[in-house]
Amino acid sequence: MSEARAVLVLALFAGGLAAGVFVQRVTDTGGRENPYPSLDRIEEPSQTAAVATALVSNDAKGLARMLDNQTLSELKDALTAPSGAPISDIRGIKFVGATSKAGRTLAGYIVTGKDMQGTDAIVGFVLNLENGQIVGVN
Amino acid sequence: MGKVFGWLPGIVRLAIGMVVVGAMIGYVLSAVVSTVINDQGWFATSGESPQARSYMVALLQREADTLTALRPQQDVVSQALARQAAQQSRQQAKPLSLTYLGGASQGRVSVQIYAVEVRANDGSQQLFSLALTLVGGQVVLTR
């Protein structure tokens, strides 16, 4: 009888534990809701994809051909790790999403690599397109 | 408590107690584990960080207190400057949309990218981006 009682107590405790985890997962909204509407996402623009390819393949000549001096300077600033050191060794670049409104397109990328001090780094930047031309980097 | 539930048979009291205690422990454990996993960047995902979304909403709604809470501890002058910036931007633009473009994590560091559309006082609409860098769930860099 005492064994059956112990099993029952343990089973009830385990059931309660599972119910608690379930309730927490269901009621956890994952932070604040976005009260604003979202713009539609679009496919990766070919112009920005070409820049990403040039970056990951270390193609300085290609970048110089595709981007003007001002945009290249902005890209250099964008590829600076939070520590303040520029990312010198790009290991990977990932397109995360793009959106467009009234002729202006924003395409977001995440770069991983090592900064000048040899530390692992991750930074994000956004290429701005207007009428098919890359006009800026954030 | 014993007097309140004293009319229940002992076995029923025990059963209810076990379920309630188990549920409370399960709830707290789940909340703690999910917070730690999120802050430490374990099992890094490319999903939207709740802290980044809260930061963006607070930024667009000019909630200086929320922004301060989501940033690493700052000196009092930096906090005052942030409040002034929030008050000045209040009259400058009305947010129209907030779009999460994507993000990625590396260890405790996470980068989250958003597109923001605003209407300026002169009626013109502007679309710009913000890239947030978070470390341990706190926004350390906004670009």
Q: Write out chain A residues lying below 8 Å of B62, CB-based.
A: none
Query: Starting from the edge strand earliest in sequence, which strands make up the sheet with A120-130, in order?
Result: A41-42, A87-101, A104-115, A120-130, A133-137
3-state secondary structure at position A86: strand
Q: Write out chain A residues lying below 8 Å of B100, CB-based.
A: 34, 38, 97
Q: Give the residue from B16, B18, B38, B139 with the most A CB atoms within 10 Å of its CB, the best one to mutate.
A: B18
Q: Write out chain A residues lying below 8 Å of B102, CB-based.
A: 96-97, 108, 110
Touching B: A residues 24-63, CB under 8 Å: 24-25, 28, 30-32, 34-39, 41
Question: Where along chain A do its domains lie?
Answer: 41-137
Q: Give the residue from B46, B113, B130 with the most A CB atoms within 10 Å of its CB, the best one to mutate.
A: B113
ipTM: 0.78
Q: State which residue of chain A sits closest to B110, comparing Cα positions.
A: A122
H or E stretch covering A113: strand A104-115
| Beta-carbon contacts below 8 Å between A and B | 178
- Beta strand residue intervals within B37-124, DSSP E: 93-106, 109-120
Over the Cα atoms of chain A, what is R_g? 24
Nearest to A82 among B107, B130, B133 (CB): B133
What are B98's strand-pairing partners? B116
Q: Write out chain B residues lying below 8 Å of A128, CB-based.
A: 129
Does domain A41-137 fall into CATH 3.10.450.50?
A: yes
Q: Write out chain B residues lying below 8 Å of A82, CB-based.
A: 109, 133, 135, 140-141
Tens of pLDDT, residue by residue, chain B (143 residues): 556 667 777 778 888 888 999 999 999 998 888 777 766 656 555 578 888 999 999 888 888 888 888 888 777 787 777 777 766 666 677 889 999 999 998 888 889 999 999 988 888 888 999 999 998 888 888 88
pLDDT at position A108, please? 95
Q: What is the pLDDT of residues A12-47, one digit of tens each?
A: 999 999 998 888 888 776 677 889 999 999 999 999
Half-sphere exposure of B85 (CA within 13 A, CB side): 12
Residues 6+ apart with CB under 8 A from B121: B91, B92, B93
